[in-house]
Structure 1
Amino acid sequence: MIILVTGSAGFIGCETTIQLLKRGDTVIGIDNVNDYYDTQLKRDRLKRLEDYPDYHHYEFCLSDYSKLDTVFKRHAPQRAIHLAAQAGVRHSITNPQAYVVSNLSGFLNILECCRHHQTEHLVYASSSSVYGANTAQPFSTHHSANHPVSLYAATKKSNELMAHSYSHLYNIPTTGLRFFTVYGPWGRPDMAPMIFARKISAGEPIDVFNYGNHRRDFTYIDDIVEGVIRSCDKIAQPNPLWNSDAPDPSSSTAPYRIYNIGCNKPVELMRFIELIEQELGIKAQKNLLPMQQGDVPDTYADVSELIDEVGYQPSIDIETGVANFIAWYKNYYP
């Protein structure tokens, strides 16, 4: 197939692109390579794609509808995997406008292009952060997610609502994936695994928020990519059992689906730090601090429907995942 992947220089986007290319798909990648974090890391990810003749790269912001429409006209992608976004919960508190441009305007342009170019299926990145103030665990897509505690989360929930409107109005199949904490080789330097590895290696203290009482559904990158591609292959269908008197937020009479994509095994933050210490052979100095603004204490994904309906099965345990991550880290940052 010809598949459009936005955010192809990103952590999940690059790995997804590689796996699609390996199985024989043609991939049209778009990324603006912004400076939210180290652009050299993004460039190095893109270098990994240079050996694939079926990869075609474009560099621009998705808020530019004209350029996006030109790409759709030129390549006519059958499927689209939208992973580009302005990421970061904390950053959304200090730079809210960036999230409106990228996460709302950019996503609208993706929907419009899918509409006008008869794209068969749109898979897009949502986030576990949409659960916000909801404390019922494990998080289920059947639960309400109407109380986001950061603007980032609000934009991701908005994406889900925008997708539903297009699925309803124009019969565009859309699947939203609520990612839970993704980690592994080539990860984002603004996320805790990379921050911990860098500071522990340098002998600097690490900030441990909520006094270390967090639990996170850490999910290894390979498992995430498997779930993304399986979801792309299974085109969203209307739910014939959907009841408007008791509406299920995860499906609809339109071809619209929402899934959690996580490991389904939350890990204590202190255990995660312990594994990093073990692989680095260095003991961490810890600054125990209260909860950060916009954060939640625990994340725990119910992924039963992704398993049942898509065939997703996370397989990388936390010990193996951290060992792989630190091995890459030592090689990339010698």
Structure 2
Amino acid sequence: MTSRDTSPALVADIGGTNARFALADLSPPRPALREQRSLKAADFASLQHAVEHYLAEVGATPKRAAIAVACPVDGDEIRLTNRAWSFGREALRRALGLDALHLLNDFGAVAHAVPRLADDERTHLYGPTDAPLRGPVSVLGPGTGLGVALLVGDDAHGWQVVETEGGHVGFAPQGEEEQTLARWVTARFGRASNERLLSGAGLSHIDAALRGIDPSVSVQDGALRDPASIVNAALDGHDAVARRALARFCAVLGSVAGDCALIHGARTVAIAGGIVPRFLPFLRASAFRERFLAKGRFAALLETVTVRLITHPQPGLLGAAVALRERHDKGSA
């Protein structure tokens, strides 16, 4: 890093629900984050509006930025998948007075963070416990949507991130209850993708289907329960449908994680997102592991895959900073 690059950079992780920001010092081997803020995306008319609010609040005028967004980032025109925000890459750079703006997918950012996580920023779930991070790594997790990315390489030769939209792969139901869920989601949306079940809204969909709610019901009618309330009710132990819904969510997550591992040839699976850390003991006791391994002749292969839960509070921000640092080191930022 040269002296001209010592000023902090802006990093952001923009999802459908929250817009997270920080200033990043890119000088250390692992970028340092400060002035972290999480804003409600619904409070702002646009990404530019949210960024300007944050920068005014912290009194910063950065010249470089890395912004992770929950959508594909090809081309100049960017449209978020689960938030009615769109913007032009170059227009946003000029409006914010930046010399350089790097855009990346939100789970691509999480994947960039994975090799930089400390031991206390991840939790072992299943598989070999004493192995260092082994690639390929499938990175996935439910939040507002379902993010999926692929990390390839190793510590010796460097890591490369492949951004994907794997959360929108078609749902493959197992058993009659999941067939019911698939029919409910298809009736509501015209198609049953994994994200329609493995997300905050997806947990609400599972719960509603199990309670026999009409799939055409409006969100405004209040018939769909908030995902946080479903989790709380399930953990409290007195709501049988909420426990069924969360148990089914965990089972489907295990199935999808196993599918991702086979597709990617993964030796490690890293689960992220804002939902799963809220009910880790419930996940451990669920059918997640059984469904992860339920791949016929390849169950033995999946036994060798390490499964970890990311517990770092803001891996998207860290990953955006890592990506910006790497671009600088390669001379492209």
Q: Taking CA–CA contacts closer than 8 Å with sequence separation of 6 or more, which of the two structures ends up with the larger relative contact order?
A: 2
Larger radius of gyration: 2
TM over 0.5: no
- TM (norm. structure 1) is 0.30
